[in-house]
Structures are given as C-alpha cells and as structure tokens.
C-alpha cells in the first residue's frame, strides 16, 4: 500500500498531520471521510501518480494518526474551517501554493471550506457523496432523520463514545476483503482509539453548529466557489433518494459545476478506483 510514497508527519501549527505523498506534476490533495484515514485512497493515489499528478493523502486532524486538538466548548477545534486551514499549511509545507482538492464524505465539507476560505489556493474542487451541511439540514425530513440518525446521535455528549467503544468493529462493520488488508488495519487502529473516536465525533458536533453557521454566513454574503467544480456521487448510495438531482443542490454554490455518477457503493475510492481515477483525471486535466 502506497509503495514509493513518502510517509511523514508535518507540523501545521496546532497539530501534526500524518501524510503520504508522491509524484511529479500538478498537485492534488485527497481528503478522506468518516471514519476512514488517508489510506482509503490507496487504490486511487498510485493511479493518479502514474498519470502525472503529485498526490497528497493526509489524515485529517483528529482522524487516524494525525494530532488531536484540545476540545473547545463550541467544538470549533474540529470545524471544517480549522481542518481546511491545516491542509493549506500542509500543502505550503510540501511546496504547493495552489492545488486541486477532492474530498469524500466528511472530507467533501472540508474541500468545500478550502475553496470558500482559500480561493487563491484551490484551482479545482471535487466533492464526492455529499451536499453542503447547511443544505442537508435545510432539507431534513423524517426520511433523513431516520436514515442519517447518526448525525444527531453523534452530536450528543458522551453517549456516542460509550456506544462505539463498547464494540467498535460491530459499530463500523468494515470488511478487509473490500477495503484491502492494510487499509482495514488502519481503520481498526483508529476506531479502537478512544481519543480518535472522540475527535471524529467532534467533527459531527461541529457540523451541526459552527460549520452550519459558517455556510449560512457564506450564502448571506453571496460567497461561492470560484474554481471549476466536479460532483461525483455513488450509484448505490442515497444521494438521489435524499435530494433528487444532487447537482441542483450544488448549483447555488458553484457557478462552474459539472457532475456524474460513479458505479459504486459509498466508498468510491475503495470499490471502483478505476472509474473514479478516470473521472478525476478527465476533470483535473481539462
């Protein structure tokens, strides 16, 4: 996994980030989701390197082997704004003043925040299997509350940690045969670490509070994504069930928007790396 990639830890200010990177050419930052680590990209990253890109795969703050920030009363230490600021510093430390970013699941919220807060740094944006948090909450109905109950359960104090840590493998129910053995081992190490589990839950607590507030402030101020944007959604996930046409949800946020489905379950990078790599290559090379 990640043969010929550099694997190191880089101080970005408040925390150190574990990061794997390799390649020569235009830089692409790949941001994982919950509860994954940067290892989720292990089948995509080498393919992009082979196609001429520099690829950077960090563990977000709080996740995997990256540092955990001191928890604040409003959970802003795990806000997408804080995570995005980390990643800008990381890319600068690696010599990339501008870069493309692709984010999946919770990582897509971070990728969006990167494009909104640091438009001078982000050349292209890819968002995968998600809509802005404020848009999801504005559309929240009984179906969303039933199917995505974890958003609201994870926001509660203490009880989610106790439930998950009682049997982390049962809670997350991942399978090594679909993920790859080393990727699965990293996931298990993360979900069996109480500090990592708490930090990952703080991601959701920030989501319902400060992250939503930041997005709503952007819309009120008329701020949107300036760079070309690609939305990729999984055919066997629930994006279309929840939102109809997911592109319609994103259009107010990005003036230069395109999108397509990927034949996959939720974890595109693990389940269909070939088609995902092809879609990323077409967009990033255009």
Q: How far apart are CA 168 and CA 140, in angstroms?
A: 28
Catalytic site includes residue 147: no
Q: How far apart are CA 284 and CA 27, in angstroms?
A: 10
Catalytic site includes residue 266: yes
Under DSSP, the state recorded for 175 is -
Catalytic residue among 118, 193, 238, 266: 266
- With 0-12 / 13-18 / 19 or more C-beta atoms within 10 angstroms meaning exposed / middle / buried, residue 247 is middle
Catalytic residue among 59, 86, 105, 218: 105
Q: 16: part of which helix (H) or strand (E)? A: strand 16-22
Question: Which of 28, 23, 26, 21 has its CA nearest to residue 6?
Answer: 21
CA distances from 214 to 104, 131, 223 (A): 20, 15, 11
Exposure string over 123-151, b if 16+ CB within 10 A, otherwise e: bbbbbbbbbbbbbbbeeeeeebeeeeeeb
Enzyme catalytic residues: 105, 266
């Amino acid at each position: 996994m990640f043969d010929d990639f550099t694997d190191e830890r880089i101080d970005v200010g408040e925390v150190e980030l574990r990061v794997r990177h390799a390649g020569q050419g235009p830089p692409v930052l790949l941001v994982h989701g919950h509860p994954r680590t940067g290892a989720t990209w292990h089948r995509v990253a080498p393919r992009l390197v082979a196609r001429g890109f520099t690829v950077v795969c960090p563990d977000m703050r709080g996740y995997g082997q990256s540092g955990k920030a001191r928890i604040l009363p409003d959970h802003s230490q795990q806000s997408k704004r804080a995570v995005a600021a980390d990643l800008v510093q990381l890319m600068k430390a690696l010599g990339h003043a501008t870069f493309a970013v692709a984010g999946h699941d919770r990582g897509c919220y971070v990728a969006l925040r990167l494009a909104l807060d640091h438009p001078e740094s982000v050349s292209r944006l890819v968002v995968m299997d998600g809509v802005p948090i404020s848009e999801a909450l504005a559309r929240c109905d009984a179906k969303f509350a039933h199917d995505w109950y974890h958003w609201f359960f994870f926001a509660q104090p203490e009880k989610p940690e106790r439930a998950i840590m009682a049997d982390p493998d049962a809670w997350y129910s991942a399978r090594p045969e679909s993920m790859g053995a080393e990727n699965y081992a990293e996931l298990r190490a993360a979900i069996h670490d109480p500090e990592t589990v708490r930090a990952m839950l703080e991601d959701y607590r920030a989501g319902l509070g400060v992250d939503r507030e930041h997005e709503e402030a952007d819309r009120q101020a008329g701020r949107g994504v300036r760079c070309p944007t690609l939305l990729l959604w999984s055919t066997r996930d629930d994006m279309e069930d929840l939102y109809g046409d997911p592109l319609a949800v994103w259009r107010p946020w990005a003036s230069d928007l395109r999108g397509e489905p990927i034949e996959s379950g939720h974890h595109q990078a693990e389940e269909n790396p070939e088609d995902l790599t092809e879609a990323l290559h077409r967009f990033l090379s255009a």
